[in-house]
Amino acid sequence: MKRAVMKKSITKNRVVFGGTLGFFKSMLTGFSMMLLPMYFSMMNISLISYALLLTVGDLVAFLIKPVIGYFTDRHGEKKFLVGGIILYTFSLFLIGQTTSLFNIAMLQVIMGVSSAFLLSIIIIFALRNVQKNPDKKVGLFGAIQSAGWIFGLLLPGFLIDKLGIGAVFYLCPVIGIVLGLLVLNVKTKFKTRTRPSLSFVKKIPLPLIYKTIDMAVFNAFLIFFIRYALKTLSLSKSMISMIVAFECLVFVLSEYGLSRISNQQRRRNWIPLGMLIHAIGIAVMLFGTNLAHYFAAAGLIGFAGAFIDIWVFSYISENVSIKNKGKVIGTVDWSRELGTIFGAQVPAWFVFLSVNPFASIFIFPFIGLVTNLINKKKRKRV
């Protein structure tokens, strides 16, 4: 009994501490995701170049994701966390010092690689030991780490309006040094050892598809709404930040609240519900005519994401053994790169078909609903 209580306490501590690290990582990522689209929009580059610059780093990060779990299990997470934070923030700073598309693309590659290490490692550490009844622990971790997005997305707009975009880029290496020192001072050893195995592969497709769709909707909203709000609506950068940060606030509150009532039985409905709410959010954004509509669209997209996130990481926690979790989470985390790539490129290319970029986003929840239907039919046959 004493051992069971101790194990439960250790698992909860890993979830909370991992969530705290995730909070700072999310804040940093949100900061860059607001800063770069604003900077690129001010450069007056073409829509295709704009979308390509925002995704080139993700193309490289995609290639290294599956091996991240293996190397962190073998060598420990701390050194990768510190190195990733420093590389990420200094690359972001250097992007603000150039207008060369080639230099920006190279720096985006470095950012993509370093970012690939960071969040995957944090999720692996926090959720490795979570197995039975995972909903509450998954929701707690998700709520803590996702709260960082609120600050990361909110701050750039206000800071740019007050200080100018050049001064904000100078804050990036300062943030990187502070976060790097915080991680260095952590005494917890993250090191675990696993045996090579390929049994995890069949557990990957469903969570990868669903999470990719969720991230694609979020990224498409973020990337194209920022451009639309700046160039067409002429909104202030601080107001744009407030709308995008509202999406994250709703996501955080929804994920934590949903995790309190979620269980294996109810969770079966989370994917179709999430996809339908995404579709409603896209419709509100497409036909929106005032600020209230854009806030509502952002909130609906955040609400939908909570359903999908709970399902994905609860599924992994219940269906994947501890020794394979690093590799599975690292591979499913492809969804972040795929979500950015599809979220930026699909609407951009639909423009050539004279389709509104916002209207093209409907394709993502449609694919999610079809995938869910096919999976249900397959389970019934079995």
62 vs 336: which has the higher pLDDT? 336
**Predicted local confidence at residue 9, as pLDDT:** 47
pLDDT band at 378 (very low <50, low <70, confident <90, very high): confident
94 vs 52: which has the higher pLDDT? 94
To the nearest 10 degrees (0 to 180), the angle between helices 291-319 and 325-332 is 150
CA distance 365 to 278: 6
Question: Distance of alpha carbon 321 from its chain centroid, rounded?
Answer: 24
How many Cα atoms within 13 Å fall on the side-chain side of residue 86? 12
CA distance 197 to 239: 49
**Predicted local confidence at residue 66, as pLDDT:** 62
Mean pLDDT along residues 31-40: 76
User: For 124-146, what is each residue's pLDDT tens digit?
Assistant: 778 878 888 899 999 999 899 88
CA distance 40 to 58: 17
**Predicted local confidence at residue 381, as pLDDT:** 65
Using alpha carbons, select from 169, 191, 58 the residue that is nearest to residue 113. 58
pLDDT band at 7 (very low <50, low <70, confident <90, very high): very low
User: With 90 as the cut, is the pLDDT of residue 177 above it?
Assistant: no
Most confidently modeled range among 118-122, 141-145, 192-196 = 141-145
Using alpha carbons, select from 298, 244, 25, 267 the residue that is nearest to residue 139. 267
User: For 282-324, what is each residue's pLDDT tens digit?
Assistant: 999 889 888 999 999 999 999 999 999 999 999 998 888 777 7
CA distance 272 to 277: 9
pLDDT band at 255 (very low <50, low <70, confident <90, very high): very high
Distances (CA, A) of 46 to 19, 32, 353: 38, 20, 17
For the question of whether the overall pTM of this predicted structure is more than 0.85, the answer is no
